[in-house]
Structure 1
Amino acid sequence: MIKKLNLIICILSMSILFNGCWDYKDINRRGILLSVGVDEIKGEIQFTGEVAKLFSPTKEQQTSTHVTDVYTFKSSGRYFEGARQDFENKTPLTDFSGAVRTITFSKSFAENGIEQYLNRIYFLSQYRSSILITVFDGNTENLFNTEIINDISVGYAIEDTIKKLNESGAAIYKTVQEIQSDIQFKSIGYLVPYITREDGTIKYLGLAAMKNSKLVGVIKSENSKGFLYILAKKPTMNMVIQIPGESNNIFSLTNILKKRKIRTYYKDGKVNIDIDLKFSTQLQYEYFLENLNKEDLANIEKEVSNKIKKDVMYALEKSQKEFKCDVFGFARYFKGKYPNIYKELTWEEAYDQAVFNVNVKTTLINTKLLDVVGKK
């Protein structure tokens, strides 16, 4: 626990330095807000979360600020302001909100809408617009009720987990500022990470689909690849395939997106959306070692392309038919190309009838590492 507290003070000191000027009176006896959970319980707004206490007990220790503890809090009120005041009424230390890492909404709260609270965070100057937004699969009070075993706090565990997955394209890191941009565009939805707690850790479950800033569906992690191929910055996905034929061999591969191109056009009164994806595929290993000829390699490429296209079409159909919402932001592409036509459309209705054309090309890039036999 001591190591965790020392790490927190180092990180928080940097946060305070980059959020404005301060002297020892500013930092002395500070409560640093690390993370916030938002829920509605029995008709009242409930805030939960974590606070790190910073304390320099004497003037002689002006240059030696200490983190003395990290504690959880719970406050409630009819409105956000009342819940905040309840927090202030229970807190002996001056609060600093510029170090908040994450804001997490309960599933039930997200179903009723999160836009009001996002507006609060976006327009209040004490909060950073780069705060990560997530949805929790239960009541947020349960998110903070036990210690995290593999990180310094719940908030940091959420941020670190999603950031790591986002860097490999296995998740989407969505901030307050990015969501505000989506909200202000009006006709599109968005996706945020969907999380839970498991055995003292934060576990990423998949993606929460938001329409009009209300939760309309959840995409399990194992079913989210198609969404990530379209939205993630650098998707790198593992895949297992078995090519048709007499062999029962199984191949483990890694697919790396190298190029993504999205085009829109208007034809016969319908929106058309073309999605072109190019992948480099690395064959990691075979379950059973055997020689592969050029035909085998071509079949692997074809099978990988087919599976990726299937994943993408699943994502597109789920957004179109189940969520009934453009969670990909295709409207931005169409509006940029056809501003006058866009003004005449109701995008939600146009998206429901949109035609998708998906093209996937896969290239095996490490064939020289294989025992490739030209003739068997």
Structure 2
Amino acid sequence: MKRALICFPVLFIFVAILSGCWDVKDINKRYLPVVMGISKGQNDNYRIILQVPDIKGGTQFLEGESKSISKAVEIIRTKAEKEVDLMHVRLFLISQELAQQGIKNIVDFAMRSNDISIKSMVAIVSGDFEKTLFHEIKRTPEVSSYDYFSEEAGWTPDVSINRLWEAYRSVYSYTEDFAVPLVQAGERTLFEFQGSAIMSRDRMVGTLSANETLINNIFQERYMDGTIELSSDASILIKKATIRNKARWRSSGPNLQSRIHLVISILENKNEKTNAEIALEIKGLLEKRAHVISDKLRSLKADILGNGQAFRPIMNDQQLKNWKETWFPQLNHQITVTVNVRDNQDYKEEMK
């Protein structure tokens, strides 16, 4: 009797542990999409297209359409002969038409879904949405669509980068907006980058060119070896970028001084300009571009540079809520750039 009483709890523990595996599904019985495309369908429906890579290097497409995103996904699951698992979705591609109307519902759906990673990338498709989503180049199983936006793969600082959790934060932020990569179908590659979409809260209100996107990434301190052409015979590589902001609230309104410090390396210098000449040229070029971008953003009431973040400690609640509509367009933004030129050898030695 005592032996039975001892064995019974042990048996119960093993049963409890093993019962946790009852709902495991074989990977061969699941679809694992890596890209979710979202556009407008008929009668203002959401049209969902899922890109599912196969073992042969190709792509399978699953489609659904409904008034809500969750219902469209459920329709896809109903039609599919395998379980559709969204845990591997790494990129959301949203049509420009939908982005101009607002992406709040898309971001809310993705953040509330238990099986979608909040680290997924977000991009906007300009031009023909279907051509971009169904576009395929030669079969390359080692390359995925989201590699173009990954800092560990093909990303460069001429392209903005925005993750799902960052988009969600900015949609609900009083003082910060965001930039999203703007792409279309490429000829020899999956995508061609058109610059960045400027988002004000959840709506696309304008665009940045590739050169302007680089400036935005410098403000976000996401430079990652960006290359800038000064002229047809000279170009430089940004090795390091830091920015310091000093915010003051004067009687005339908000005033912000942004000081950008760059460490650069010279890649091409065919006319053999001095380091001082190149530093002066890059200083003038970047200050001019930065002021043009700042003026454009204030006219669009889209604070993608995050200028309002510097004023949060000195604003009251009402000023905070009215930042984008009232105070940001009145912002006096002064931008200065200092440049330190180092050759590659000196820079490598310092890093060691």
State the identity %: 15
Question: Is the CA contact 1:240–1:251 (under 8 Å) kept in the aligned structure 2?
Answer: yes
Deviations 1:92-124 (A, max 9, x none): 101111000101100101111111011001011
Written as runs of structure 1 = structure 2, the 5 A alignment for 1:161-200 is 161-164=148-151, 168-199=156-187, 200=189
Question: Is the CA contact 1:161–1:204 (under 8 Å) kept in the aligned structure 2?
Answer: no
The amino acid of 1:182's aligned partner reads S
C-alpha displacement of 1:88:
2.0
In 2, Cα distance between equivalents of 1:124 and 1:160 = 23
Question: Is the CA contact 2:174–2:324 (under 8 Å) kept in the aligned structure 1?
Answer: no
Moved over 6 A (4+): 20-23, 66-69
- Structure 2 residues not aligned, in runs of 5+: 1-19, 347-352
Aligned residue in 2 for 1:40: 40
Instruction: Give the TM-score normalised by structure 2.
Output: 0.82
Shift in alpha-carbon separation, 1:119–1:272, aligned structure 2, 3 A: same
Aligned residue in 1 for 2:310: 333
Question: Is the CA contact 1:45–1:80 (under 8 Å) kept in the aligned structure 2?
Answer: yes
Written as runs of structure 1 = structure 2, the 5 A alignment for 1:171-250 is 171-199=159-187, 200-241=189-230, 250=233
The amino acid of 1:278's aligned partner reads H
Aligned residue in 1 for 2:259: 276
Question: Is the CA contact 2:57–2:141 (under 8 Å) kept in the aligned structure 1?
Answer: no
- Structure 1 residues not aligned, in runs of 5+: 1-19, 54-65, 243-248, 370-376
C-alpha displacement of 1:231:
1.9
Deviations 1:7-62 (A, max 9, x none): xxxxxxxxxxxxx9898634341111221100002322111121246xxxxxxxxx
Secondary structure in structure 2 of the residue aligned to 1:50 = strand
- Whether 1:300 aligns to 2:288 is no
Aligned residues: 324
In 2, Cα distance between equivalents of 1:68 and 1:330 = 44
Aligned residue in 2 for 1:359: 336
Question: Is the CA contact 2:157–2:214 (under 8 Å) kept in the aligned structure 1?
Answer: no
Question: Is the CA contact 1:264–1:274 (under 8 Å) kept in the aligned structure 2?
Answer: yes
Aligned residue in 2 for 1:287: 270
In 2, Cα distance between equivalents of 1:22 and 1:213 = 41
In 2, Cα distance between equivalents of 1:253 and 1:22 = 59
In 2, Cα distance between equivalents of 1:22 and 1:97 = 20
Deviations 1:296-332 (A, max 9, x none): 43222111111111111111111112x2221122222
RMSD, aligned α-carbons: 2.9
Shift in alpha-carbon separation, 1:91–1:336, aligned structure 2, 3 A: same
Shift in alpha-carbon separation, 1:111–1:341, aligned structure 2, 3 A: closer
C-alpha displacement of 1:281:
2.2
Question: Is the CA contact 2:89–2:117 (under 8 Å) kept in the aligned structure 1?
Answer: yes
Question: Is the CA contact 2:170–2:201 (under 8 Å) kept in the aligned structure 1?
Answer: no
Written as runs of structure 1 = structure 2, the 5 A alignment for 1:21-170 is 25-43=25-43, 44-52=45-53, 70-149=59-138, 151-152=140-141, 157-164=144-151, 168-170=156-158
Shift in alpha-carbon separation, 1:264–1:68, aligned structure 2, 3 A: closer
- Whether 1:313 aligns to 2:291 is yes
Deviations 1:309-366 (A, max 9, x none): 1111111111112x22211222222113444674485442101010011111112212
Question: Is the CA contact 2:91–2:123 (under 8 Å) kept in the aligned structure 1?
Answer: yes
Question: Is the CA contact 1:166–1:232 (under 8 Å) kept in the aligned structure 2?
Answer: no
C-alpha displacement of 1:263:
2.2
Shift in alpha-carbon separation, 1:287–1:68, aligned structure 2, 3 A: closer
In 1, Cα distance between equivalents of 2:168 and 2:345 = 48
Shift in alpha-carbon separation, 1:344–1:240, aligned structure 2, 3 A: closer
Aligned residue in 2 for 1:348: 325
C-alpha displacement of 1:270:
0.8
Shift in alpha-carbon separation, 1:146–1:344, aligned structure 2, 3 A: closer
